[in-house]
């Protein structure tokens, strides 16, 4: 069943772009196993900021979890446990930050969640070699028209076009990835560090502090490393089309 968040999508304005990143285990036999996909969408200049994660080859419309309940957060905080319905394949929210210290793109996969049966507050996919795409905006507004006509043009895709310009060969190569675990389990709404305080830190500050306490995840015995790859790139899509996009 499609979550309500994705049911209320826009079907008219095809201004959005889309990027899907696949995360892979590499086995001792050299086989690549896709275990998670990261979906990013929006205006071409904004799509590397917010997104969601899902099971391999799934779309946003097939994920069963987006945010986490207070009960799930409390269970992880007090007991360090996560219920099976919050496996990484169930999906959730993602947010990326440029890590200037490591020259990587750090994508936070907010939990609590399970990866291969192990509980984490969140996961961080540290993408080595990520090159940002460029974006263009083509303005066809006719400023000689009256204000009411101009206002209509501003919301008509025929008068404004946004294009994503991906780097050459962007979808062809696999790149190294460090997969790290975090105890941070509050999603996009961090709690005050002092429970008696009513003032909560910003998300950027909370994750900035949390990134100093990351540890490598426990990989399956048959897996040697994690890699990533840009699987799909598209633009001139509606919001609904983005949510349907999958591997």
Per-residue model confidence as pLDDT tens digits over 85-105: 999 999 999 999 999 999 999
Per-residue model confidence as pLDDT tens digits over 184-219: 999 999 988 766 667 888 998 999 999 999 999 999
Residues for the chain: how many in total? 247
Q: Are 92 and 63 in contact (CB under 8 A)?
A: yes
Mean pLDDT of the chain: 93
Nearest to 225 by CA among 182, 174, 183, 173: 174
In whole angstroms, give the CA distance from residue 55 to residue 85: 13
In whole angstroms, give the CA distance from residue 228 to residue 125: 9
Alpha carbon distances (Å) from 96 to 26, 46, 107, 119: 23, 11, 4, 21
**Is residue 1's pLDDT more than 80?**
no
Per-residue model confidence as pLDDT tens digits over 140-152: 888 888 888 888 8
Domain ranges of the chain: 4-132+167-244
Global pTM? 0.93
CA torsion sign for 203, 208, 210, 216 is positive
pLDDT of residue 153: 83
């Amino acid at each position: 069943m499609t979550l309500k968040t994705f049911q209320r999508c826009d079907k008219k304005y095809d201004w959005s772009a889309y990027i899907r990143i696949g995360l892979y285990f590499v086995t001792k036999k050299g086989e690549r196993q896709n275990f998670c996909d990261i979906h990013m969408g929006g205006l071409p200049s904004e799509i590397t900021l917010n997104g969601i994660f899902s099971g391999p080859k799934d779309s946003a419309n097939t994920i069963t979890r987006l945010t986490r309940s207070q009960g799930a957060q409390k269970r992880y905080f007090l007991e360090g446990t996560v219920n099976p319905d919050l496996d990484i394949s169930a999906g959730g929210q993602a947010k990326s930050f440029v890590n200037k210290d490591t020259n990587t793109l750090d994508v936070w996969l907010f939990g609590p969640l399970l990866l291969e049966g192990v509980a984490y507050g969140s996961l961080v996919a540290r993408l080595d070699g990520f090159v940002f795409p460029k974006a263009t905006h083509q303005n066809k507004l006719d400023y000689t028209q009256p204000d009411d006509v101009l206002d209509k043009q501003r919301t008509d895709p025929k008068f404004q076009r946004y294009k994503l310009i991906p780097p050459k060969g962007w979808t062809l190569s696999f790149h190294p990835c460090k997969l790290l675990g975090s105890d941070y389990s509050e999603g996009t709404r961090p709690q005050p560090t002092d429970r008696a305080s009513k003032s909560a830190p910003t998300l950027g500050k909370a994750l900035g502090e949390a990134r100093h306490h990351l540890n490598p995840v426990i990989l399956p015995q048959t897996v040697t490393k994690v890699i990533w790859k840009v699987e799909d790139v598209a633009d001139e899509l509606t919001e609904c089309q983005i949510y349907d996009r999958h591997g």
